[in-house]
Structure 1
Amino acid sequence: MTAQPESAAQLKARLREGGFPDMPEIIAVPAAPKRPSPPATLALDEVLDPPDAQVLCESPRIAQIDGLLSVDECRLLVATAAPLLRASRVHAPDGSDVGERELRTSRDVSFDPLLEDFSLRLAQLRMAAAAGMELVDAEQLIVLHYAEGQEYRPHRDYLPPESIQRDHPAAGNRKRTICAYLNTPLEGGATVFPARDVRVEPKAGRAVVFDSLDADGRPDADSLHAGLPVERGEKWLATLWLRERPYRAY
C-alpha cells in the first residue's frame, strides 16, 4: 500500500480535535525471518518464534533481544493502553498498596486476559517464549508510560513472602522479567543494572529479559535495576513478570 501522508495528517488533525492525543513516533526495524515462509499463509510457528537473544550477563542472566515486537504491535499496545493509564502503584514490604511514591513516577495499565484480542495474545506469547517460559506463568501484561523526567528508581522485581501469600501463592515468586520497549525516547530512559554495570538503551521493538532468582530459586540481590529518567520525549514499555509456576488459567 502506498503511503498517504496528507490523509494521515488530516486524520490526526480530526482525532486531535476530538481530544485524542498524538501517538509517539514509532519506528522499528523488523527482525529478519529465520526461515522462508510460503506466500499467503499464516505461519504461527514463525510468529511465535522470537529472534535470538544477546546475552549481556550470565549471573544474573540478562539478555537483549532486538526486533521482538513489530512496529504494528508496538503501536497497538500504545493505542490500547493510552486511554486507560493511571498513576503507577508501589507496594510496601508487607504487600499492601501504598499508592504513588517517588520510587516510581510512571503511569500504567494492566490487561485482563479475558479482554485481550488475538494480536495482544500473540505479542505476549512471543514475549514469554523469548523469556524461555510459558505465558501461563505470567502475571497480567503491564504497559507503562514515562513522560519527561519520570523514572523507576533502583528496585528488584522478586516479591516478599507476604505479597506471594496475597496473590497466587501456588505460583511462587517472580522468576524472570521481560520488558519490551514500544518506542524510542529522544533521550534517556535506559534500563540499568548497577551491580553488573549493564545498560540497555530503549529502542522500539527491543526487549530486555533478566532473572530475579538465582539457580537455587532464591532471590538474587544483584538483579537490582532501574529505569533512568526520560530526558527528552517519552517512553512506552510493556512488561511481563513471570512466576516460578503457572499463574494464569490460560
Structure 2
Amino acid sequence: ARARTRTRVEPLSWYPRAFALRDALTEAQCEAVLRATRARVRRSTVVDSVTGESKVDPIRTSKQTFLNRDEEVVREIYDALSAVTMLPWTHNEDMQVLEYRVGEKYDAHEDVGAEDSLSGRELSKDGGKRVATVLLYLEEPEAGGETAFPDSEWIDPKMAEGTSWSKCAEHRVAMKPRRGDGLIFWSVDPNGKIDHRALHVGCPVVAGVKWTATVWVHAEPYRWQKP
C-alpha cells in the first residue's frame, strides 16, 4: 500500500540544516516499535575513532537495540520518510531504538565520522556517507531529553520563546521530544562535504523516560543488492 503523507515539516535552522517533523508517526506505529523493543535494549555503544570497533563509552549512557528495516512497521515508517529525505528506503540503515532514563544522555558528537579516520571509513564503507539523521520520538520524558546543536542558529530566534528548555538545550537550536514527532538534520552540506555544525547532543533526561528511534540515511543504497 502507498504510504500516506501526513507529516508537517517545520524548518528550525539552516546552520545546520535541521527540520522538525510534526506527527511523523501514528500512535499505532509508536506502540508497535515499543512493543517490539522494550525487553531487548542493552547498554549503548559508540564507534571507536581509532579502531573502528563498537565500544561502551561514558559519553553515551542510554540503552539500545535494533529493528530490521524489513520488518513491516519499519518499512511502513521508512516509506513515509522517503517523502522527506527524497531518497528510497534502501538508503536507510536498520532502525536503532534507544531508551534514556533520568540522567542518561549522549554527549556532543557527529553521526558521520571524520574523512581521514577509521571510524569515518567504517561508517562509509557501505552506502557512502551518512548524509542525514532522522530522530523519531516514541515516548516523551516529563522534562529534559532535548536534541540540541551547540554550534547552530535558529532561522528565527523567536522560535525558542515560550518553551521550557533544560539547561543543556538553552541558547542553541534544539528540539523538544514529543511523542510522534521527529527531527531530521543533514550531516553534509549541499555539496556533500561534512557539515560540522551538525554536531549534536542528546540532553540528559531530567524526569521520566525517553524512547527514540534513529534512522541513519546514506548517500547510496545501504547493504542492498537489486533483486
TM-score bracket, shorter-length normalisation: 0.7 to 0.9
User: Does the 8 Å contact 2:131/2:187 carry over to 1?
Assistant: yes
1:65 alignment partner, SS class: strand
User: By percentage of residues, which structure has more helix?
Assistant: 1
The one-letter code of the counterpart of 2:42 is R
Matched, 1:192 2:167: no
Q: Is this contact kept in 2: 1:56–1:198, CA < 8 A?
A: yes
Which moved further from structure 2: 202-211 or 215-224?
Answer: 215-224
Find the counterpart in structure 2 of residue 136 from structure 1: 90
Moved more, 166-175 or 105-114: 166-175
TM norm structure 1: 0.76
Letter in 1 for 2:78: Q
Greater shift, 142-151 or 95-104, is seen at 95-104
Q: Secondary structure at the match of 1:154?
A: strand
Give the structure 2 partner of residue 40 of structure 1. none
Residues 167 and 192 (structure 1), Cα distance of their counterparts in 2 relative to 1, 3 Å cut? closer
Residue 168 of structure 1: CA displacement? Answer: 6.0
What are the within-5 Å matches in structure 2 for residues 109-188 of structure 1? 109-114=65-70, 116=71, 118-161=72-115, 162-166=118-122, 169-188=125-144
Q: 1:177·1:211 contact (CA, 8 Å) conserved in 2?
A: yes
Aligned to 2:167: none
Verify the 8 A CA contact 1:90 1:101 in the aligned structure 2.
yes
Contact 1:50–1:130, Cα closer than 8 Å, also in 2? no
- Between 1:119-128 and 1:144-153, the stretch displaced more is 119-128
RMSD of Structure 2 on Structure 1 (CA): 1.8
CA shift for structure 1 position 95? 4.9
1:139: Cα distance to partner?
Answer: 1.1
Task: Give the number of the structure whose alpha-carbon radius of gyration is greater.
Answer: 1
Report which of the two has the higher share of strand.
2
1:72 equivalenced with 2:72 (yes/no): no
In structure 2, distance between residues paired with 1:139 and 1:82: 20
Please give the per-residue CA displacement for 1:105-144, whole angstroms capped at 9, x wherever unaligned.
0011112335x1x223101222343333221111111011
Scaled by the length of structure 2, what TM-score is found? 0.83
The CA deviation at 1:49 is 1.9
Deviation at 1:167, TM superposition (A): 5.4
Residue 43 of structure 2, aligned match among 82, 87, 94: 87
Paired residue secondary structure (2:8):
coil
Structure 2 unaligned runs (5+)? 153-171
Structure scoring higher RCO (CA < 8 A, sep ≥ 6) equals 2
Matched letter for residue 187 of structure 2? S
From 192, 196, 200, the counterpart of 1:221: 196
Amino acid at match of 1:222: R
Instruction: Give 2:127's aligned amino acid.
Output: A
Q: Does 1:202 align with 2:185?
A: no
Q: Which moved more, 1:60-69 or 1:127-136?
A: 127-136
Change (3 A) 1:153 1:128: farther
**Is the deviation greater in 168-177 or in 61-70?**
168-177
